[in-house]
């Protein structure tokens, strides 16, 4: 009977758990164990904003280089607001989810027009800016201004659900809202930013999403339900992800000498406004791509089939095959109405044109490095 009784006492839902007892050990642990990260050197709200947006979907180690480069080129909110779009997208190349940086620029323009160039010192005003959700608003307002506001993302949900053995589906927006509301009253005055960062750090370095959590190093080891009941692998609960739509494509690397053909994607939809190698829907044969090139007025001299590749977006998966097509003179390309091809030296792509990571494998066949590797 005793173990079961213990279970009843510890395994409570988030709503019933005394979350405030997590605060002091988390802050003490963070002060001792926090990593030395570039965005933790100051409390500049712009720096915190840039880092938090970059860290969505991207690992800390990968973000460091992008972060330094972005702030080197755009050191202020004003510089971000005024940056030409192509250059902005090039700075973001490799990070993906390009709407994030487009929204940052929209928000920067609003900050310039309505808040005299400074991030407002108010949670609700920060939350009202384009591209800033409850998590980012909480992170900026607490870390920069110590406004007691929670910052709840998947990491925070995971660790809290493990501690309390709460089986809520953390993919549901309602669960995130519930946890945010539960945290608001326990946010410590004056050190709310430290507490939020402690939660982030525990999620990133101790109670990790993949692999065994390092419970012996966790400040909550003695109060964690999942650890005591050996149920860690049961939390957090997540509903099954939606089935991705599969799209087949044929990618064409059409070159003469050192020039290569790229084109701009439409201004709406997936990867809007970025550049890409010309491509065709479906898997096409060598004959079809040769005939495509000839119809465009080109003169294929050499055609090589390239290995398949795939790229996974959140709801779509591209399955690609590709061809390298060397032609005598790209200038012969016959432009059709609504087409905007660019014949460009490879070096210029490296420095000026943002090509999404979906094309990375094919770019490598023509010795082009995309993203951070290809910049500067
Ligand atoms: S004790 Fe283990 S499972 Fe519980 S929060 Fe800490 S690392 Fe995660």
| pLDDT tens readout for residues 119-135 | 999 999 999 999 999 99
Instruction: Among 201, 234, 267, identify where a domain stops.
Output: 234
Give a yes or no: residue 273 inside a domain.
Answer: yes
Same domain? For 360 and 258 the reply is: yes
Same domain? For 206 and 164 the reply is: yes
Is 26 a pocket residue for ligand 1 (Cβ < 6 Å)? no
Give a yes or no: residue 317 inside a domain.
Answer: yes
> Distance from the CA of 229 to the center of ligand 1, in angstroms?
11
Is 254 a pocket residue for ligand 1 (Cβ < 6 Å)? no
Whose CA is closest to atom 3 on ligand 1?
A: 227
**C-alpha–C-alpha distance, residues 117 and 106, integer Å:** 13
**C-alpha–C-alpha distance, residues 204 and 193, integer Å:** 16
Joined together, the tokens standing for residue 365 give 């066949």
CATH of the domain at 114: 1.10.340.30
The minimum-distance atom of ligand 1 relative to the CA of 217 is 7
Same domain? For 176 and 119 the reply is: yes
Is 232 a pocket residue for ligand 1 (Cβ < 6 Å)? yes
Give a yes or no: residue 239 inside a domain.
Answer: no
Same domain? For 56 and 116 the reply is: yes
Is 220 a pocket residue for ligand 1 (Cβ < 6 Å)? yes
Is 10 a pocket residue for ligand 1 (Cβ < 6 Å)? no
Best substitution site from 226, 233, 236 to test ligand 1's pocket, by max atoms within 8 Å of Cβ? 226
Query: What does the pLDDT look like over 171-219, one tens digit per residue?
Result: 999 999 999 999 999 999 999 999 999 999 999 999 999 889 999 999 9
> Distance from the CA of 355 to the center of ligand 1, in angstroms?
40
Is 225 a pocket residue for ligand 1 (Cβ < 6 Å)? no
Task: Tell me which residue range forms the domain holding 285.
Answer: 245-374
**C-alpha–C-alpha distance, residues 230 and 83, integer Å:** 52
pTM attached to this predicted model: 0.80
Cβ neighbours of residue 99 under 8 Å, at least 6 residues apart?
131, 272
Strand partners, 317: 246, 312
Is 213 a pocket residue for ligand 1 (Cβ < 6 Å)? yes
Q: Is the pLDDT of residue 114 over 70?
A: yes
Same domain? For 193 and 135 the reply is: yes
Q: Is the pLDDT of residue 319 over 90?
A: yes
Same domain? For 147 and 278 the reply is: no
Same domain? For 19 and 115 the reply is: yes
Give a yes or no: residue 240 inside a domain.
Answer: no
Give a yes or no: residue 31 inside a domain.
Answer: yes
Instruction: Among 190, 215, 234, identify where a domain stops.
Output: 234
At 228 the pLDDT is 93
Give a yes or no: residue 30 inside a domain.
Answer: yes
> Distance from the CA of 197 to the center of ligand 1, in angstroms?
16
CATH of the domain at 361: 3.90.79.10
> Distance from the CA of 148 to the center of ligand 1, in angstroms?
24
> Distance from the CA of 367 to the center of ligand 1, in angstroms?
45
Joined together, the tokens standing for residue 151 give 């910052």
Same domain? For 115 and 214 the reply is: yes
Q: Is 376 or 140 the better-scoring residue by pLDDT?
A: 140
Catalytic residue among 52, 201, 284, 360: 52
Same domain? For 204 and 323 the reply is: no
Q: Is the pLDDT of residue 271 over 60?
A: yes
Same domain? For 218 and 255 the reply is: no
323: nearest Cα among 287, 356, 298, 358: 287
Joined together, the tokens standing for residue 65 give 């280089």
Same domain? For 273 and 225 the reply is: no
Report the 10 Å Cβ neighbour count for 1: 5
Give a yes or no: residue 193 inside a domain.
Answer: yes
Q: Lowest mean pLDDT of 151-155, 195-199, 309-313, 370-374, name the range.
A: 370-374
Instruction: Among 200, 234, 268, identify where a domain stops.
Output: 234
Contact indicator for 14, 179 with CB cutoff of 8 Å: yes
**C-alpha–C-alpha distance, residues 200 and 196, integer Å:** 6
Provide the domain count of the chain: 2
At 3 the pLDDT is 44
Is 215 a pocket residue for ligand 1 (Cβ < 6 Å)? yes
At 325 the pLDDT is 96
- pLDDT above 70 as % of the chain: 94
Which range has highest mean pLDDT (55-59, 320-324, 342-346)? 320-324
At residue 258 the predicted structure's pLDDT band, cuts being 50, 70 and 90, is confident
Q: Is 374 or 33 the better-scoring residue by pLDDT?
A: 33
Catalytic-residue membership of 165: no
For 325, list phi and psi in degrees, rounded to 5: -120, 115
Q: Are strands 316-327 and 341-345 parallel, antiparallel or unpaired?
A: unpaired
> Distance from the CA of 334 to the center of ligand 1, in angstroms?
62
Best substitution site from 232, 233, 234, 236 to test ligand 1's pocket, by max atoms within 8 Å of Cβ? 232
Q: Is the pLDDT of residue 372 over 80?
A: no
Best substitution site from 213, 217, 235, 236 to test ligand 1's pocket, by max atoms within 8 Å of Cβ? 213
Over residues 73-91, mean pLDDT = 96
At 337 the pLDDT is 65
Average pLDDT, the chain: 90
> Distance from the CA of 139 to the center of ligand 1, in angstroms?
22
Best substitution site from 160, 163, 165, 199 to test ligand 1's pocket, by max atoms within 8 Å of Cβ? 163
The minimum-distance atom of ligand 1 relative to the CA of 219 is 6
Give a yes or no: residue 115 inside a domain.
Answer: yes
Same domain? For 69 and 199 the reply is: yes
Q: Is the pLDDT of residue 9 over 50?
A: no
């Amino acid at each position: 009977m005793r173990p079961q009784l213990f279970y009843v006492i510890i395994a409570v839902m988030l709503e019933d758990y005394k979350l405030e007892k997590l605060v002091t050990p988390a802050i003490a642990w963070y002060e001792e164990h926090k990593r030395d990260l570039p965005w933790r050197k100051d409390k500049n709200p712009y720096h915190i904003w840039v880092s938090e947006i970059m860290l969505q979907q991207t690992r800390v180690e990968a973000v460091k280089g992008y972060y330094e480069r972005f702030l080197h080129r755009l050191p202020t909110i004003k510089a971000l607001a005024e940056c030409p779009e192509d250059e902005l997208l090039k700075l973001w190349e490799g990070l993906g989810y390009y709407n994030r940086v487009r929204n940052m620029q929209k928000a920067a323009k609003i900050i310039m027009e309505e808040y005299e160039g400074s991030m407002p010192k108010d949670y609700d005003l920060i939350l009202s800016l384009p591209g800033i959700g409850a998590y980012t608003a909480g992170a900026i307002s607490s870390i920069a201004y110590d406004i007691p506001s929670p910052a709840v993302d998947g990491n925070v949900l995971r660790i809290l659900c493990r501690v309390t053995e709460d089986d809520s589906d953390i993919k549901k927006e309602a669960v995130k809202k519930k946890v945010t509301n539960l945290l608001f009253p326990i946010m410590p005055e004056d050190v709310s930013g430290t507490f939020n960062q402690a939660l982030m750090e525990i999620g990133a370095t101790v109670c990790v999403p993949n692999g065994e959590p390092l419970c012996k190093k966790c400040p909550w080891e003695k109060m964690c339900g999942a650890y005591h009941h050996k149920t860690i692998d049961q939390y957090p609960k997540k509903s099954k992800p939606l089935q991705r739509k599969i799209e087949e494509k044929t990618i064409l690397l059409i070159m003469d000498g050192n020039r290569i053909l790229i084109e701009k994607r439409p201004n709406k939809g997936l990867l809007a406004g970025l550049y890409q190698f010309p491509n065709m829907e479906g898997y096409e044969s060598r004959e079809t791509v040769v005939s495509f090139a000839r119809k465009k007025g080109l003169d294929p001299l050499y055609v090589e089939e390239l290995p398949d590749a795939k790229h996974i977006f959140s709801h779509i998966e591209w399955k690609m095959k590709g061809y390298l097509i060397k032609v005598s003179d790209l200038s012969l390309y016959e432009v059709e109405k609504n087409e905007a091809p660019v014949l460009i030296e490879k070096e210029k792509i490296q420095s000026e044109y943002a090509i999404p990571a979906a094309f990375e494998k094919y770019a490598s066949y023509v010795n082009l490095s995309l993203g951070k590797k290809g910049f500067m």
